A and B are shown apart, each in its own frame.
Chain A
Amino acid sequence: MAGEIGHFALILALMLALTQSVVPMIGASRNDPALMAAGRAAATLQALFVLAAFAALAFAFVRTDFSLEVVAQHTHSTQPLIYRFAGTWGNHEGSMLLWVLILSVFGAAIALFGDNLRTTFQARVLSIQGMIGTAFIVFLLFTSNPFARLSPAPIDGAELNPLLQDPGLVIHPPLLYLGYVGFSVAFAFAVAALIEGRVDAAWARWVRPWVLAAWTCLTAGIALGSFWAYYELGWGGWWFWDPVENASLMPWLMGTALLHSALVLERRGALVSWTILLGILTFSLSLIGTFLVRSGILTSVHSFAVDPRRGIFILAIIIGSTGAALALFAWRAPAMKSGALFSGVSREAGLTLNNLFLMAATAVVFLGTFYPVIMEAVSKDKISVGPPYYALTFVPIMTPLLVLVVFGPMLTWKRDALGDLVRRLRGPLIVTVIAFVAAVAIFGRTNVLAAAGMALAVWLVVGAGAVLARRWRIGGGFLRSVRTTPTSTYGLVLAHAGLGVLVAGISAMTAWQSSKIVLMHPGQTLTIGREEVTLRSIREATGPNYAALVAGFTFTRDGVSRPMTSERRFYPSSRSQTTEAGIEKRFLGNTYVAVGEPDKTGGIVVRLYDHPLVGWIWGGAVLMAMGGCASLADRRFRLGAAKAAAGIPGGRLVPA
C-alpha cells in the first residue's frame, strides 16, 4: 500500500513540477501576478508530494516491505531499525529520491521565504528549479523507480552492506545532498539573471544566503564522510582522491569561489560575468558528480550498481541544464558590463586571484578524475590517476592561495598600497616567521615541508585573529566593538581560522604518522608514538546481525591506562567482514588499533597507528561550517535588498 501511495505521490509531484517549470516563466514575461503566484503554489505543493513519496519509501523500508524491489535488495529483517530507515537512501533509487526531495524543498523555500526577491525574478528562479526537478523526477519514474515491485515478494531481503550500517549513513548523505542540491538555487539565480539580462548588487545580496547554506552543509558533509571513512574502513586513511570524493570536492571549491565572487559583486558591482559563470558551474559539478557515481563511467568504492542507461539519461539532463546555461551565458553575458574599476592591489584584485586559484584547483581535480576517461578515447593505453598525482599538482596550487587568504580581508576596496598592507599584517608575519623557525628547530631540517605546513597554519589562524584585532582596536570601547562587529565578520574569522586548523592537521598527518603491523598474543605489549598498547584478551561476541571476534587492549600513556577494543565482524546474511577499529581520541592526535585475522596459535594480526593532530582536520572543517552558520545569521541578510536596488537610479546595469 505504501508503495502505491508513494508512486502516485511522485507522479503528482511530476505534474506539479511541470506546472512550476512553465507557468511562472510565462507569468514573469507577461508580468502576471496570478500566474507567478501559481508558480509559488506549485513549488510548495510539489515539495509536499515528494515528501509524501519519500515518507512512503521510508515507511516501506522500516516495515521491511519486501514487495518493493529496493527494500528487498537493501534491507534484512535483522537489521537494526535506524539502519532500516537510513537504508532508504543507501541505494541508488532511494538516494535519488532524497535528491529530488531536497530539490523540491529548496524550491518551496524560495517560494515561501523569497519575499525579498523581485517577483518576476523569483518566478523565473522557481521555473528553472522546476525544470531541474521535472527532469529528475522523470529520471526516477522511468529508469530508477523506487517503487518497483517484486513479485512474488521474498521472505527476507539482502542485507545492507555492513560498511553502511553505521551512524555515518544516517547523516552523511543527507548533509551532502543539502550541499549539492542547495547549489541548484545559485544555478537558478544565475540562469534567471541571464534571462533577464541584468545582474546587480541586489542579485548578489539575494544569492549569498542560499550559497552559504549549501556551502556550509557541503563542508560538514565532506568532513563527516572523511571522518566516517577514517574510523570505518580500518586503516586510518581520511582522503583517497577517489573519484566520488573528488565529485564532492569540486562543487565545494567552486562554491567557495562563488561565495567570494558574489562578495565583490555585491560591494562593487564587479566580476559580474565571472560570478554568473561560477553560479552555473558549481551546480553543474554537482550534476557531473551524480553522473559519475551512477553511470559506471569510473570505478570507485562509492559507486552504486552500474547501469549505462541511467548514465545516458543523466548525461542528457546535464546537456539540457549545463549545456543550455552555458550557451545562454555565451549569448547574454557579454552584454552585462561590470561597473567599478579597481587597482591591481585591492580587495577586488585579491578576490579575483582567489577565483583564479580556486578554479585552477578545481580544474586540476577534474582533470585527474576524468583523464582516464578522456585518454580511453584517444589511446589504447590505460592509465590510472591516484593520490601521488594530486599531491604534486593540487597542493602546489592551493598553497599560494592559502597564503593569500590572510591578505584578502586586510585589503581595502578599490585601491590599496602594498606597503600599508604589509604594515597592517606585521603582527601575523612576525609570528609566522617565528613559528616556522621554531618548527624547523624542533622537528629537524629533514622535515622542512612539514614545518612550512605548520607555519602556514599559524599564518592562517593568527591572520584571522588579526581581522578581529583590527576591528576591535579601531572601534571605541572594546566591549562595544565586540558587540557591533557584524556576525558575518565572526563568520569570516571562524572560517579562515578553521582553514588554518585543517592545514595543521593535514601537515601533521602527512609528515608524522606512523604504523606498526604485528602478530600479537594476549599479554604482549607494543609501543607506538608515546602510547603503550597491551593486548589483553581475544573473545567472541554477537550483535543483532553479526558475529564478532573482539580483541581487548589496554592503552597506557603517561602512566594513565584506559581500555580499548577492536573487532572483526562477520555478517552471515551478506557473508562479508568488516573491521571496527579502536580509536583513542586526544586533542593532539589519535592512537588507532585495528585487528585482522587470528592465527592458529591464539594470536591475532594487529595494526597500530599513531595519528598526530588528525582530529584537527575535521575540527577545522567544523570551524569552517560554524563560520558559514555565523555568516548566515547576520542580520544584513534578512533585511530586504530589493527596495534599495529599485530606488537608486542607475541601480540597473545598462547593456553596453
Chain B
Amino acid sequence: MRIVVALVALVLAVPAFAVLPSEQLADPALEARARAISAGIRCVVCQNQSIDDSDAPLAHDLRVIIRERLGAGASDAQAVQYLVARYGSYVLLKPPLEPATVALWFAPLAFVGLGAAGVVLYLRRRVGGATAPLSASDAAAADALLEDRI
C-alpha cells in the first residue's frame, strides 16, 4: 500500500525532469539551437544550474518560451534578449561584456601580462652572467674553505 501511495506521489509530483521529450521541437536544427541556448541560461531559482539541466518548474517555463521564440523565427540573440529583458543579465551564465564587467574579462590577460613582465624583470636581475675571475687572495681563501670539508 505504501508503495502505491509513493508511486502516486511520484506521478503527481510537480517537478519536471530537466528537458522533457514533450518539450522538444520537431525540427532537430531548432531543437539543437534551443538546447544550446538553454545551456547558457541560468536557472534563477536553483543553486547554480542551467535551465537545460534543472528540474524546476520555472526552468521548464523558460525552456518552453525559448522554443516558442525560436519557432516564431527569432534569432539566438533575440531569444536570449527576450529573457534578459525580463530577468536581467543575471540569467546569463556567460557574463556580458559591459563597463562593469570589463575588469572581469580583461583581468586574466592582465594577470598573465603583468606576471610575465614581473618574471622577466625578476629573471633579468637573477641572470648569472660571466663572473669576474677571483683575485689571488680570494682564490686562496676559497681553496682553504673547500678543503675544510665538513
Contact = CB atoms under 8 A, between A and B. Distances in A.
A386 B3 CA distance: 40
Contact of A384 (B90, B108, B111, B112): B90
A577 B50 CA distance: 19
Given A243-B48, A363-B111, A367-B107, A384 B42 contact: yes
Given A352-B123, A356-B115, A381-B89, A597 B100 contact: no
B16 A597 contact: yes
Given A342-B126, A344-B123, A382-B90, A299 B104 contact: no
Contact of B47 (A303, A570, A605): A303
A517 B24 contact: yes
Question: Which applies to chain A's interface (DSSP): helix, strand, loop or mixed?
Answer: mixed
A235 B111 CA distance: 35
Interface string A322-342: 000000000000000010011
A393 B105 CA distance: 8
Interface string B1-35: 01100110111010111111110100000000000
Contacts of B47: 242, 299-301, 303
Interface residues of B, number: 54
A301 B7 contact: no
Interface residues of A, number: 67
B119 interface: yes
A41 B145 CA distance: 42
A344 B116 CA distance: 13
B104 A385 contact: yes
Contacts of B150: 647-649
Interface stretch (A95-103, A200-208, A371-379, A465-473): A371-379
Contacts of B78: none
B126 A389 contact: no
Contacts of A389: 93-95, 104
A597 B11 contact: yes
Interface in A355-374: 356-357, 359-360, 363-364, 367-368, 371
A112 interface: no
Contact of A547 (B7, B18, B20, B104): B7
A408 interface: no
A382 B89 contact: yes
B57 interface: no
Given A382-B90, A549-B10, A597-B13, A343 B112 contact: no
Contacts of B119: 352-353, 356
A302 B59 CA distance: 20
A364 B111 contact: yes
Contact of A367 (B2, B104, B112): B104
Contacts of A383: 89-90, 92, 95-96, 100-101
Contacts of B48: 240, 242-243, 299-301, 386
Interface string B37-61: 0001010000111100100000000
14 contacts: A242-B47, A341-B128, A371-B95, A382-B90, A383-B90, A384-B92, A386-B50, A389-B94, A397-B108, A415-B128, A517-B21, A570-B7, A597-B17, A647-B150
Given A344-B127, A382-B88, A386-B93, 4 more contacts: A348-B126, A371-B103, A384-B91, A547-B7
